[in-house]
């Protein structure tokens, strides 16, 4: 008997127990399950190149894992000027999209996936700026946005 047959046999003998465990898992993880579902729905409706395929059929590979995240990030960096607005540094590997008014960590937590987040940045460019990693950390420190302020 293979694994699939054993699983089917277990399910048949323990339907109520399995259903109860499933309900409990959903109750405990509802927010993350719904966020994944919203992200899949968004991707399927806003990116027709996926061809209407269910993302589950793609082996649960995210856009980031398929390499598309880097491509979209590079496109975004180029559209935002391709260099740090403070010092002019232009190596894409150290450029970061910064929230002009701070609050980036909270904003990222509200977004379901990196792809959706990049799309949001593209739609609201006035709220973001391109900084190199050094200038971004200096800005965070000057504006007391960093964790360092709690240590000082």
Q: Which tokens is 138 given? A: 């200096």
pLDDT exceeds 80 at position 23: yes
- What tens digit of pLDDT does each residue of 38-96 get? 887 777 777 666 555 544 444 445 555 556 777 888 888 998 899 999 999 999 999 99
| Contact between 87 and 132 (Cβ < 8 Å) | yes
Q: Which tokens is 6 given? A: 């054993």
- What tens digit of pLDDT does each residue of 108-148 get? 777 766 777 778 888 888 888 999 999 999 998 888 876 54
Return d(Cα 90, Cα 130) in angstroms, integer: 10
DSSP letter for 128, please.
Answer: E
pLDDT exceeds 80 at position 106: no
| Mean per-residue pLDDT, 20-39 | 89
pLDDT of residue 152: 46
| β-pair type (95-99, 128-132) | antiparallel
């Amino acid at each position: 008997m293979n694994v699939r047959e054993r699983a089917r046999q277990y399910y048949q003998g323990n339907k109520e127990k399995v259903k109860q465990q499933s309900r409990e898992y959903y109750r405990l993880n509802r927010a993350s399950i719904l966020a994944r579902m919203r992200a899949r729905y968004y991707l399927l409706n806003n990116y027709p190149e996926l061809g209407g395929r269910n993302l589950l059929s793609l082996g649960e590979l995210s856009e980031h894992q398929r390499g598309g995240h880097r491509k979209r990030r590079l496109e975004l960096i180029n559209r935002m000027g391709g260099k740090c607005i403070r010092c002019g540094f232009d190596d894409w590997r150290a450029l970061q999209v910064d929230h002009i008014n701070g609050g980036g960590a909270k904003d990222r937590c509200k977004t379901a996936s990196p792809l959706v987040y990049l799309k949001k940045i593209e739609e609201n460019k006035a709220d973001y700026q391109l900084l190199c990693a050094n200038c971004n950390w200096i800005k965070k420190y000057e504006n007391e946005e960093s964790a360092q302020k709690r240590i000082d």
